[in-house]
Chain A
Amino acid sequence: DTGVSQNPRHKITKRGQNVTFRCDPISEHNRLYWYRQTLGQGPEFLTYFQNEAQLEKSRLLSDRFSAERPKGSFSTLEIQRTEQGDSAMYLCASSPGTSGGIYNEQFFGPGTRLTVL
């Protein structure tokens, strides 16, 4: 399977614990995005990487959230001291970026569903 993969698919944790999610983008996609989706809502942007550089971080992300993309390949999203309000689906997407000024679509992973008890 050469699509975007995310692990784990489901995570249940107790409030106050730390969790880490991983995203493996499509090979050679230099752009990687994290989004969060709560029940009944559309996804909301969290952060964006171009290669290994984190170019934008949403104000939705408190200082408990950190994302990395070492070497511009896979990415991790860590949440420290989880709160019940962090319960959501965390989606990762990748894109080859623009080609000749034409935007290329984003390809989404299956998501990681986080439940904080």
Chain B
Amino acid sequence: KNEVEQSPQNLTAQEGEFITINCSYSVGISALHWLQQHPGGGIVSLFMLSSGKKKHGRLIATINIQEKHSSLHITASHPRDSAVYICAFLRHQGGSEKLVFGKGTKLTVNP
């Protein structure tokens, strides 16, 4: 079982709709990351959060550490928001560290 589960896997919306992507994880973490990946591969970090809520433009991320759940919301969605959205947490182990990723949610926003 993956340590990070995202839902839905695929999401199609009409321009202007409110979008919610969910992320659940099974281990204790200190912070969760939301990342955006456009076709072609480049990954951009959107948020890193350890509690509560963060907002950047039309993007809002929330997290409940106790319930091991986070959500990414997009208000007034636009076709340029079409991308894969990935959540991940940082694992520290024996002097090493790495991001552990979910499989991603592919969002398509139609005009």
Min distance, Cβ B78 to any Cβ of chain A, angstroms:
23
How far, in angstroms, from A55 to B86 measured CA to CA in the complex?
Answer: 25
Query: Majority SS of interface residues in chain B?
Result: strand
A89 at the interface (CB under 8 A from B): yes
Number of A-B contacts defined by CB within 8 Å: 62
Min distance, Cβ B38 to any Cβ of chain A, angstroms:
10
The contact size tier of chain A is 20 to 34
Name A89's closest neighbour in chain B (CB-CB).
B41
Give the chain B neighbours of A74 by CB distance below 8 A: none
Query: Majority SS of interface residues in chain A?
Result: strand
- Beta-carbon contacts under 8 Å, A20-53 to B: 31, 33, 35, 37, 40-45, 48, 50
> CB within 8 Å of B: which residues of A?
31, 33, 35, 37, 40-45, 48, 50, 55-56, 89, 91, 93, 103, 105-111, 113
> CB within 8 Å of A: which residues of B?
4, 30-31, 33, 35, 40-45, 48, 86, 88, 90, 93-104
